Amino acid sequence: MISAEEAFKKHGKSFTCITEKEIMTPRMPREDVIGEAEELKLAALADVEALVKAGCPRDYVTTLDERIGAYAHASSLWENFEFEKTDAKKQWLVEEGPAYEFKAELLHELQHALRKNPAELKYVSKISAGSGRRDLVVDLKDITVLGKKNEQALKAIGFDVTKLDKASALHEKLSDLLSASNMNPEKLEELKTQAYQAYTFLQQAIAEIRANGQYAFWKNENRLNLYKSDYYQSLRKNKKAENESGTTA
């Protein structure tokens, strides 16, 4: 047995060639797709000879586990990409306010320390003029460079030089958060398509296994039920109950 990521890599060429017209859209939650496929896998492996005799390609049964893994990994990549973007934006909002305050504090101290150095004071003014999120990230880096260059002047006013290391670390952190929070719609669509292709690759096997299982075990109700979707059977029962309730109301 191989991991979901390994299955994704192994079968990538097989499902990424599935065309837009061939792509199937999942109509049930990801967890239900995977859960039902896992249950079907156990039944199919036990009945593999009967399924093959009924007309099911053996490959669909023997690769079902890897198809499940490929879909699980592809859909996880898509969902995690969306989650990371949302999480990064939330984290940025937490860090943004204190970062602006820290920047203002550092510029205030640099301006005082370099008040007798017109050439360097120009850089302080230039940094001060920056506004916006991208400027905040860049400014923290510039402050670090300028501060380390004029460390002696800063020490002369009682400046805590460890603040420069803090500014550098904050620059790295905010840079990562800003990059992560900028949603790339093309990348998102690419991962979504990839997940749907992997789902289609899985569903191709599921459909054949179920069709042949229902044919082979049409007189064996216990095994026949193993080749039906619990999710859709449940939906049909609920719909029927709603209709009956509406009729008697």
CA 236 to chain centre: 32
| Cα 35-214-21 angle, rounded to 5 deg | 65
Domain spans of the chain? 4-83+191-248, 91-181
19's torsion region: left (phi>0), alpha (psi -120 to 50) or beta? beta
CB distance 200 to 18 below 8 Å: yes
Question: Exposed/middle/buried for 24, CB within 10 Å: 0-12, 13-18, 19+?
Answer: middle
Is the pTM above the cut of 0.85? no
* Per-residue model confidence as pLDDT tens digits over 112-137: 999 999 989 888 988 887 667 888 89
Question: Exposed/middle/buried for 142, CB within 10 Å: 0-12, 13-18, 19+?
Answer: middle
Contact residues for 135 (Cβ-Cβ < 8 A; gap 6+) = none
For position 26, what pLDDT does the model report? 87
Rounded to a whole number, what is the largest CA-CA distance in the chain?
96
Please, which contacts does 85-88 make with residues 24 or more away whose CB atoms are closer than 8 Å? 85/180, 85/181, 85/183, 88/177, 88/180, 88/181
Q: What sign does the CA torsion over 140, 146, 150, 154 have?
A: negative
Task: State the virtual CA torsion across 126, 131, 137, 138 in degrees, nearest 10.
Answer: -30
For position 237, what pLDDT does the model report? 67
For position 133, what pLDDT does the model report? 80
43 closest CA partner among 216, 176, 159, 202: 216
CA–CA gap between residue 71 and residue 163 (Å, rounded): 47
Low-confidence ranges of the chain (pLDDT < 50): none
- b/e for 186-197, b at 16 or more Cβ within 10 A? eeeeebbbbbbb
CA–CA gap between residue 142 and residue 132 (Å, rounded): 15
